[in-house]
Amino acid sequence: MSFSQWASIFGCTTAAFISIAPLQAEAAKYQIQSGVTSVYHDLSFLSSIGLNFTGSNNTVTPINSDFIVGFGISPTTNFTFSDVGGFSQLSGTIQHTGTVTFNKEITIGNFSVGYDPTRAINNASGLFLKDTVSLNKILFDLSAPGNMEFDGKNLTIANVKLLFTSDFASILGDSSLLGQVGGTARIDAKVVEVPESTSAIAFLVAAVPLLRSKLRKQM
């Protein structure tokens, strides 16, 4: 085999690896695995609209005394994000355990935090909090966080306002509640890096038959 034939085949192989390189250079993605979401309810405001906090069940200790109750992040959580720009490419949900009761008869909880970019209007970030126990409605939109910290293993999203949704306002029979602040929240989570996509490997495997064919033609 001539040097020119080897050079041609090597060039094809190099091109394949160059095609793969951008995939390997993509920003890392992470998944939330555990942690706690701490919530402060504005009890005086809630009481003024007929919601009196009367208890909780299966909750955890909040991150600090600034909050009233904590909801443990469930292993069923599949919320992922990228570190591009600090926090992007959001998908999946953060599942929680724990419930709170108002007026000794309305129990909500096992909250699911998800993301919908179409909800990112006015002061909302696109993140939302949904009850999965009784009402099965999105109760609050979450504001953009006042601050956020991420070190590759720990994620803190703090100073988040809980904004009444139209669904919750409708349930309470008061449309003027839409967008009003019902409390604040903070998410403290442990995260792991999502394994690198296998797409690059699949691309290389798919390229092998092509390389073999080119080799046979030039020999």
Q: Which residue has the tokens 């504005």?
A: 42
Same domain, yes or no: 52 and 147: yes
Cα distances (Å, whole numbers) of residue 1 to 16, 69, 212 = 22, 74, 15
Q: Sort strands 154-164 and 147-150 into parallel, antiparallel or unpaired.
A: antiparallel
Q: How far apart are CA 149 and CA 138, in angstroms?
A: 26
Assess contact for 46 and 182: CB atoms under 8 A: yes
Assess contact for 38 and 62: CB atoms under 8 A: yes
Q: How far apart are CA 161 and CA 105, in angstroms?
A: 25
CA 99, 101, 103: angle at the middle one, nearest 5?
Answer: 175
Beta bridge partners of 99: 57, 109
Tell me if residue 65 falls in helix, strand or coil: coil
The answer for residues whose C-beta is within 8 angstroms of residue 11's C-beta and 6 or more apart is none
pLDDT tens over the chain, length 219 residues: 332 332 332 234 334 333 434 444 466 899 999 999 999 999 999 999 999 999 999 999 999 999 999 999 999 999 999 988 778 999 999 999 999 999 999 999 999 999 999 999 999 999 999 999 999 999 999 999 999 999 999 999 999 999 999 999 999 999 999 999 999 999 999 999 998 664 444 444 444 454 455 445 555
Same domain, yes or no: 125 and 154: yes
Same domain, yes or no: 53 and 157: yes
Element (H, E) at 141: strand 138-143
Same domain, yes or no: 34 and 8: no
Same domain, yes or no: 55 and 131: yes
Q: How far apart are CA 13 and CA 132, in angstroms?
A: 52
Domain around 139 = 29-193
Which pair of tokens denotes residue 218? 């030039």
User: Count of domains in the chain?
Assistant: 2
Same domain, yes or no: 22 and 84: no
Torsion of CA 149, 151, 152, 158, to 10 degrees: -20
Assess contact for 35 and 153: CB atoms under 8 A: no
Same domain, yes or no: 7 and 105: no
Same domain, yes or no: 150 and 209: no
